[in-house]
Amino acid sequence: MRGGDDSVYEGGSYNIVVCGIRRRDARLHRHAVKLWEAVAEAYSPGRVRAKLPPVVVLRLAKATAVFVNAGFGRMFLGWAKGESRLLDFVGLGTHRLFGQIYGRELCREESMAHLRKRLYYCVVTAFFTVVQIIFSYAQLHIFSLAISVMLLPILLDRQWSTLVSRMQSRYDRSQVSQLSRHLGKALAPLATTTGMPTRFGLRGMDMLLGGLEMCVGGAQFVSGALIFAYSVSRAARPTAEVEPELVAAMTGLRVAKELANLLSPLIEQRRQPAQFDRNEDCVRQILHGLTAVASSPMELALRIHEQPEAEAEFMHSCEVLTASVVCGSWRPAEHAGIRGALMPFSSRVA
């Protein structure tokens, strides 16, 4: 009897192991298919032509926004508090380019899909970086250069995926903040004590991930700048003798940069859902503020028409809502409330 129990136990363990192996193989196959699809898109001539000029412009604008930021704009350019028009330009440009390329609207799911695609590209570039290092130590520099040229389409598509995955939630946050600001001014003359949310509070884990992401981004920038300076000096003086210690240091920097590239999308996979959720929470607060002012969209419209200054601010709210990504791609059950409240004005804006 004991032997029979042992055989049943062993058979059950065997089935569990086999099922685990099959699930693992299915996951690997699924990742392999998605990796192949990502690489096929990166090397598609039509996609390369469509992405190259605008992606370069958007990335340059995003880099400029590091210096021409919200503080600089508020002090010297008259921007509103917390407003960064350069980043808004990048976000809107990314949203429009996505629609032109894929023929569908950029939304939360598409943003997360491009984040996973970006991780696949980082795996590919990390693998070929190791191959390039091996070729460099073997004095086969021509093969290392050929790999660099071969990876250019993947680097372009990785930059595009970075824009899609990072700018979506940030542009949503900016649009909701503008909507909240204009609605707050519009509702002020209506003698209501209910304010609109204008700040997006960070939770503990999100603050930790944000700090870690900034550190990883700094490591990427510093290592990339040093590698670029070294490459330029080598191209300017190809016959100059290089110390082995410097070569080893550059190799270590390249490895560190690829590790940072891999770590960055992994951090964003944990952080981006919280950012999208925070934007949606703010929209819900706006809806709550509207329902506190009037019981129906028609009553709200009538009250707005009675106040000329409120109507002007409400028109600004309609313009923001028309251009908003989060109010178009996110559709909660109470979504008709804010749309309905703005309907008498949005037709005039359109």
DSSP letter string, 152-188: HHHHHHHHHHHHHHHHHHHHHHHHHHHHHHHHHHHHG
pTM equals 0.78
Q: What is the mean pLDDT of residues 166-184?
A: 79
Q: Are 210 and 270 in contact (CB under 8 A)?
A: no
Euclidean distance between CA atoms 300 and 337, whole angstroms: 11
Most confident of 167-176, 228-237, 251-260: 251-260
pLDDT score, position 150: 92
pLDDT at 97: 93
User: Which of 9-13, 14-18, 151-155 has the least mean pLDDT?
Assistant: 9-13
> If you average pLDDT over every residue of the chain, what do you get?
77
CA 131/CA 98 separation, integer angstroms: 33
Q: What 8-state DSSP symbol labels residue 196? A: P
Q: How confident is the model at residue 212 (pLDDT cuts 50, 70, 90)?
A: confident
Q: Are 51 and 160 in contact (CB under 8 A)?
A: yes
Q: Where are the chain's structural domains?
A: 35-247+271-349
d(CA 342, CA 304): 10
How many CB atoms lie under 10 A from the CB of residue 224? 15
182, pLDDT greater than 90: no
CA 113, chain centre distance (Å): 10
Q: Residues 136-160: what's their mean pLDDT?
A: 88
CB 196 within 8 A of CB 285: yes
